[in-house]
Amino acid sequence: MVRYFLVKGRVQGVGFRWFVHREAAELGLRGWVRNTDEGHVEVVASGDPEVLDELKSAIKKGSRGSRVDAVIEQELDESEDEKLGPFVIEGAW
């Protein structure tokens, strides 16, 4: 299963992408996380539904110093998985 999350709140400049990366990698998920120009964070993750639910719970909780106001979730087509590799932070050095 492949899911897209749009995370709104104070999620840029507080280590949120690194937090999501760590959580997703520990869960063995594939995909990516990146900032948006609007000040949000986008996540695309692929894995078992139960494991994706664990990631969603972690995202809702947020990292230390962050504030998650909303998580918008959308299921993507399974074919999107073919484009994904090990979980990475896009746009990081």
Q: Which domain holds residue 41?
A: 2-76
User: Could you tell me if residue 6 is inside a domain?
Assistant: yes
User: Could you tell me if residue 67 is inside a domain?
Assistant: yes
User: Could you tell me if residue 63 is inside a domain?
Assistant: yes
> Exactly one of 3, 34, 35, 67 is catalytic; which is it?
35
Annotation says 35 is catalytic: yes
> Exactly one of 10, 17, 22, 34 is catalytic; which is it?
17
φ, ψ for residue 39, nearest 5 deg:
95, 10
Q: Give this prediction's pTM.
A: 0.94
Question: CB under 8 Å to 53, separation ≥6 — which residues?
Answer: none
**For residue 51, what is the domain's CATH number?**
3.30.70.100
Give every residue of the chain whose pLDDT is below 50, as ranges. Answer: none
User: Could you tell me if residue 61 is inside a domain?
Assistant: yes
Residue positions counted in the chain? 93
User: Could you tell me if residue 35 is inside a domain?
Assistant: yes
Which pLDDT tens digit goes with each residue over 42-65?
999 999 999 999 999 999 999 999
CA angle 27, 32, 33 (to 5 degrees): 100
Domain count, the chain: 1
Q: What is the model's pLDDT at position 91?
A: 82
User: Could you tell me if residue 82 is inside a domain?
Assistant: no
- Summary count for the chain: helices (H), strands (E): 2, 5
Annotation says 30 is catalytic: no
User: Could you tell me if residue 62 is inside a domain?
Assistant: yes
